[in-house]
Homo-oligomer: A and B are copies of this chain.
Amino acid sequence: MDSRKAQTHRRIVETAAELFGLQSYQAVNVNQICDRANVNKATLYQHFGSKEALAVATIEHHFERQKADFYEAAMAALPNPVDRLSGIYQRIYQQHLARSDRGESCIGCPFVNILSEMAVGSPAIRDAVQAAFEGLKPYYRLIARDAKVIGYANRELDGDAVSSALIAIMNGAMISAKTENRPEAILENLETAKLILRG
């Protein structure tokens, strides 16, 4: 059961995550977050200390959400590794599609967005994004292992290399979708992901 303090904390993080996604870290100001989250500015600063720290919290929040909504969900739905890979792409695509249907433009990957913007200026943010990607790799590593087991992969795969490559192509896919403002671009890169998996 959430305490009132924890609720406020969550509300701030969720609001910030949403706003950073809709625009960008630097384009969103602390007032907007406070207004939308219905918290006083000083309260926000008591919870997070700085805007940068809040950004780190949003990265962790996105990580937890992506893990649950995309990765765990896809793993739980089907046993076949290729289906699982496909399931991850489908779920991310569906989320982008829903936003697109609401008239919003394609915002891409929250990790890539804040990394591109802030990595050089803020090591803390870079580290948080790196940790998030590391935290997603185990799913790809599992998929790679199973791809060999069922004979989809032609040869023994290097788990590190494959999971890194799959993270890369997923990020590339999100960039394409954002560039062209076209969620379908995500799905189109599933083919490359499968090539990687086949080895």
Contacts and interface: CB of A to CB of B under 8 A. Distances in A.
Interface of A: 22-24, 26-27, 105, 107-108, 112-113, 115-121, 126, 129-130, 133, 161, 164-165, 167-173, 175-176, 178-181, 185, 188-189, 191-192, 195-196
Given A164-B188, A172-B172, A24 B179 contact: no
A192 B196 contact: yes
A126 B171 CA distance: 17
A176 B164 contact: yes
Contacts of A169: 168-169, 172, 192
A121 B24 CA distance: 8
- A interface, over-half SS: helix
B113 A117 contact: yes
A26 B23 contact: no
Contacts of A173: 168, 172
A185 B133 CA distance: 14
A176 B167 contact: yes
A179 B119 CA distance: 7
B117 A108 contact: no
A15 B27 CA distance: 23
Contact of A130 (B27, B168, B179): B179
A171 B180 contact: no
B164 A171 contact: no
A6 to B, nearest CB: 21
15 contacts: A23-B121, A24-B116, A27-B117, A107-B120, A115-B116, A115-B175, A126-B179, A130-B180, A165-B188, A168-B185, A172-B172, A172-B175, A192-B195, A192-B196, A195-B195
